[in-house]
């Protein structure tokens, strides 16, 4: 593989899916599959030892002590340099919201093309997000009240991992004003939490992690 290839770990509880993914990436010089894992513990260990740039993760991980969302949260906490792309057979938009809320960079449906998955992996390796057309089409039907420029900036900075005090300093406003902006963001997007607001923003292409 080329030195410029993106090192990837594949995580799925179905061996045939893993075989299919390895076959898919086999002749793609952009990607180097450095390990496969069947559950969350194997995935964490593989990421520690192989140091991939991207982990392609199934949502359910049946038989594992953690599902894909929990695995993603653990990876973000322990190995933040590893970006997560979910690869799922589920097509409810709530799955996409949970994926982004857990810290993922992308979500791809198992019904999407091989090119979609490759695109998601390459974008994630550059810190950019990707949403499957399956979920994006559902998001298109949603009607949100438009966010103000300052509300959108506060949401984008929140997604980048900044705390309220840091957002206030970056925007040169008070913390209470930031709190008010984020409260309005949640109301306008119909989000119960800030994490859900970030997820909804990503799915609806209001901003990108890479901005």
Identify the structural domains of the chain with CATH numbers, from first to last.
6-131 (3.40.50.2300), 149-203 (1.10.10.10)
pLDDT of residue 74: 95
d(CA 49, CA 51): 6
- Please, are residues 201 and 159 in contact by the beta-carbon 8 Å criterion? yes
pLDDT value at 130 more than 70: yes
- The mean per-residue pLDDT over the stretch 159-183 comes to 92
Selection from 75, 76, 88, 78 nearest residue 13 by Cα: 88
Q: Whole-model pTM above 0.95?
A: no
pLDDT grade for 29, boundaries at 50, 70 and 90: very high
d(CA 77, CA 94): 23
pLDDT grade for 140, boundaries at 50, 70 and 90: low
């Amino acid at each position: 593989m080329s030195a410029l290839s993106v090192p990837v770990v594949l995580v799925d509880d179905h061996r045939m899916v893993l075989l299919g993914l390895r076959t898919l990436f086999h002749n793609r010089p952009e990607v180097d599959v450095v390990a496969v894992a069947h559950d969350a513990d194997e995935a964490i260990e593989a990421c520690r030892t192989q140091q991939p740039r991207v982990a392609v993760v199934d949502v359910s991980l049946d038989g594992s002590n953690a599902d894909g969302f929990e695995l993603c949260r653990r990876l973000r906490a322990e190995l933040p340099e590893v970006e997560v792309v979910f690869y799922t057979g589920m097509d409810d938009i709530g799955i996409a919201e949970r994926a982004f809320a857990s810290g993922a960079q992308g979500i791809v449906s198992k019904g999407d093309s091989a090119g979609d998955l490759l695109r998601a992996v390459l974008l994630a390796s550059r810190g950019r997000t990707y949403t499957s057309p399956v979920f994006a089409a559902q998001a298109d039907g949603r009607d949100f009240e438009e966010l103000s420029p300052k509300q959108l900036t506060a949401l984008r900075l929140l997604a980048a991992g900044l705390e309220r005090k840091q957002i206030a300093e970056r925007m040169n406003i008070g913390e209470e004003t930031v709190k008010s902006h984020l409260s309005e963001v949640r109301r306008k997007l119909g989000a119960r939490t800030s994490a859900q607001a970030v997820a909804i923003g990503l799915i609806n292409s209001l901003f990108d992690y890479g901005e």
